[in-house]
Amino acid sequence: MKIVSKHQLLVGTAILALATGAVYGCSDFLSSSATPQGALDATNLANRAGVEATLIGAYRPLDCTTSSGSWGCAASNWAFGSVGSGETYKGSTGSDQPPINDLEGYHWGSAKAEDYLNQKWSHVYEGVVRSNAALRLLKQVLTATPGEFSTAEANSIEGEALFLRAHYHFEAYRMWGNIPYYREDDTDFRKANGTSAEAITNLLADLDAAIGLLPVDPRNGEKGRATSWAAKAYKGRVQVYAGQFAAAVTTLSDVRLNGPYALEVSFDRVWTGFSDFTNGKETILAYQASANDGDPGGNNANQGERLNMPNGGHFGCCGFNQPTQNLVNGFRVDPVSGLPLSITSPTTWNTNDANFTSANLAPVDPRLDWTVGREGVPLKDWGLYTVSAYARDVANGGPYSPKKNVHEQSSGSELQNGGWSPTQQNDVNIHIFRFADALLLEAEAQAETGDLATATTLVNMVRLRAGQTAQGLGTSRANIAVPINDPSITWAVYRVGQYLTTFADLTYAREAIRTERRLELAMEGQRLFDLRRWGIAATTLNGYLTGVGGGREDTRRLCLASAEAFTARHQLYPIPNIQVELSKVGSENRLAQNPGW
């Protein structure tokens, strides 16, 4: 979240760090008998500044909070939702970040996979702890000093903390289903997990409370703060995940018709380093990366995504999260209708095993070249993408590179000094939930409740925007994005057709909506969670490995030859064993492991 100034965003985190870190600033701490100076505790923080700082600190775990060298904490869930779903390979080399190899191969019960799973568990519950700390501190201050905050201010602070608490628990729910749900008055952190249904009930209760407390506009005009509309959109998201489709239609149609959100006019404005496009009308919730804020290590930048840059060239490193051949083939379209080839030619859309270079002019959706770096196509405004310059190990990760999270050269969002590898670090916001996602969730709910006409309209809205612009020459900011039929485009033939009649039936509607989510949200960490909630993960991912649409990934990438079959136990990730052990009271495990693990 961006609160006006990226420097302002960091204030809370810095103050929270002082609470544990100030003691290390005194070289004579162990030898001096003087009263320690500068340490922060609940008493020191029990004032307006302390509450505000603690709340800002609760926003910070939206993405990785340290430079630990591991990326299970990434805001985008790329290691779990993308690599684990067949839309990306781990990439890089086989020996780099080996835990992701086991996530990619569905060996989720391995000790290496647990390393990343435990990072995710620890990180989301750090967010829960910080949210609850803000709620407790607010109550303490209001009791001791009733006039410290106006009623409106107090309500908004409480609402923001509840919204964040819901988000972090939702992240845990999507991963593990049966999770413990912590509130501000909990004192025993060895809490038993509840069921998935109980998690949904708790999430909706927190979001309803947040909706009632939050203002319609960001507090103090600071755009990154949660609002009642953000909480309402998030509620609709949870309702769709829970299969509460009629309720979701009510919630999400209200957001669409009466809320402040809209689609950006062109896709290039969604994932961008240009500050004038940041926090645009499509943003519901995003991690606000901050590259040039004075942090010498750039740790507030795109921490969780910085491995996911083209390897080599200007960026230097690291070539992870590479698009799969299956995903690239999924952007092919019917040359006449412009509809996805996976719908119009379901048995042959995935037959191409070759590098899809600029020499191949088979018609494609223009979102391909906003999502994927591929041979002979401009990489935003960095010049032409070439496999020789940017693909680290083609045998392991294929010839393509991620593109959405790459900053534009002319944006000025790259880290200027310091950091582990400043050319990889930027302040491109990481979208956690955006309006196109909400529209497609509503389309799904409308279809499931029988309104196929509205579902068709909503899908066509997303497709209409997709057809506005394509990757241009990128010799200046002015021609990074151009009309899809611009004569300067020689590397692709772009088509985006509309569904000209209402979806014929629910089966067709599901296929169209699910395909649209795949194309629109590609490489945004959503795919696995979608497949699981639709109940088609095993069919889709086993087909991905062994043959769907005429192509199989276990022969395209040899590293996938040893992948496990996706079975019932993969419906939920295993709870990290270390967390099960830490939950023990005597010999009893409070946390129960998920089935099959």
Residue 73 lies in a domain: no
Residue 540 lies in a domain: yes
Residue 535 lies in a domain: yes
pLDDT of residue 125: 97
Residue 441 lies in a domain: no
How far is residue 463 CA from its own chain's centroid? 21
State how far the Cα of 491 lies from the Cα of 379, in Å rounded to an integer: 12
pLDDT of 40-95, one tens digit each? 667 789 999 999 999 999 999 999 986 556 789 999 999 999 999 999 999 999 99
> How many domains, the chain?
1
Task: Find the domain containing 450 and state its range.
Answer: 319-403+446-562
| Cβ-based neighbour number of residue 487 at 10 Å | 7
List the Cα angle 572/574/579 in 5-degree steps. 135
Secondary structure (H, E, C), 161-215 = HHHHHHHHHHHHHHHHCCCCCCCCCCCCCCCCCCCHHHHHHHHHHHHHHHHHHCC
Residue 329 lies in a domain: yes
> What are φ and ψ of residue 442, in 5° steps?
-65, -40
Strand partners, 551: 548
pLDDT of residue 68: 59
State how far the Cα of 78 lies from the Cα of 60, in Å rounded to an integer: 18
How far is residue 135 CA from its own chain's centroid? 25
Q: Who contacts 252 (Cβ-Cβ below 8 Å, separation ≥6)?
A: 233, 236, 240, 438, 441, 442, 445
Residue 458: how many CA atoms within 13 Å on its side-chain side?
30
pLDDT of 369-381, one tens digit each? 999 999 999 999 9
pLDDT of residue 317: 92
Residue 2 lies in a domain: no
Residue 93 lies in a domain: no
pLDDT of 20-36, one tens digit each? 332 222 333 223 334 44
Residue 349 lies in a domain: yes
- In CATH, what number is assigned to the domain containing residue 356? 1.25.40.390
All residue ranges of the chain with pLDDT < 50 are 1-36
pLDDT of 572-589, one tens digit each? 999 999 999 999 999 999
pLDDT of residue 286: 96
pLDDT of 43-58, one tens digit each? 789 999 999 999 999 9
Strand partners, 588: 585
How many angstroms separate the Cα of 559 from the Cα of each of 47, 154, 556? 55, 53, 9
State how far the Cα of 155 lies from the Cα of 214, in Å rounded to an integer: 6
Q: Which of 342, 368, 328, 324 is nearest to 466 (CA)?
A: 368
Sign for the CA dihedral angle at 217, 223, 226, 231 comes to positive
Q: Copy the structure tokens of residue 455.
A: 């579902």
